[in-house]
Amino acid sequence: MSPLLSVRGVHKTYVAAKRSKVVALEDVDLDVGEGEIVALIGPSGCGKSTLLRMMAGLDTDFEGDLSWSVPPRPGKDIGFVFQEPALLPWRTVRRNVSLGLEAQRDTSEQGREQVTTLLDLVGLTDFADSFPKELSGGMRQRTAIARALAYNPRILLMDEPFGALDAITRDRLHDDLLRIWETTHKTIVLVTHSVEEATYLADRVAVMSARPGRIKAVHTVPLSRERTPETRQLPEFAKFAGMLRQELV
């Protein structure tokens, strides 16, 4: 079966201040299968966010090919979650989540029900009428995840979505994301700095090397798809995370 997204021979050079050039990505190849969770890890500045932004269609100024089995419809098929949730402070949680639907002028009953279902899925039903300032960091990020899912994108691109959270909240959100995945089977590409996060969440982990960013290796996570807090205690978990850590040095 052909992958949902195929990245082939991608090069990206930024022209920075004073016309100095930064080669951010060099000869990057990567496949992302339908329904797969792929983690991108690598040292700071290796081009993870750059690659994700290309996948999102936010950066089209590069060499190489990025092809989709079914081309994504702009504003509909790609959901993006950033490290900072960037919610609109004057809108309630429900109205932040429904933002994408409103932008598409979707005022259907089905759209409203989808928002209600998502609020339930991310555990925010009781906070639907709260404003962002009344939420914890984890709740804000849950709102951002629900917002990205509201228009039912085919792929969810997440750029260090849990990086700003404390360890306990982060672990909880990992389980929330896996629960969402079990319900939706969304394709997810996740940028992270954490080898544990990559191991716990992903089917495959792409390890990138330092500048210029290249894909050094792509590993299949040797764990069953069903991940529970006990998974973190398994010897295979520690061994795989340890191997990733070694690859990053």
Ligand X SMILES: Nc1ncnc2c1ncn2[C@@H]1O[C@H](COP(=O)(O)OP(=O)(O)OP(=O)(O)O)[C@@H](O)[C@H]1O
> Binding residues for ligand X, per CB under 6 A?
14, 16, 22, 24, 42, 44-50, 211
Q: How far is the CB of 176 from ligand X (least distance, A)?
A: 23
How far, CA to CA in Å, does 241 sit from each of 149, 175, 192, 247? 29, 18, 13, 10
Q: E strand or H helix at 118, and its extent? A: helix 109-121
Min dist CB 206 to ligand X, Å, is: 12
- Measured from the CB atom, the residue of 49 and 141 that comes closer to ligand X is 49
Least distance (Å) between residue 150 CB and ligand X: 26
| Number of other residues whose CB lies within 10 A of the CB of residue 18 | 5
Q: Considering beta carbons, is residue 119 or 188 the nearer one to ligand X? A: 188
Question: Which residues have CB under 8 Å from 3's CB, separation 6+?
Answer: 31, 32, 33, 34, 69
Closest to ligand X by CB, 37 or 191: 191
3-state secondary structure of 210: coil
> Residue 107's CB: how many other CB atoms inside 10 A?
10
The residue (of 9 and 45) whose beta carbon lies closer to ligand X is 45
The dihedral region occupied by 127, where left means phi > 0, alpha psi between -120 and 50, and beta the remainder, is: alpha
Residue 50 or 96: the one with the smaller Cβ distance to ligand X is 50
The least CB distance from residue 47 to ligand X, in Å, is: 4
Shortest reach from residue 15's CB to ligand X, in Å: 7
State the amino acid at position 152 in one-letter form: N
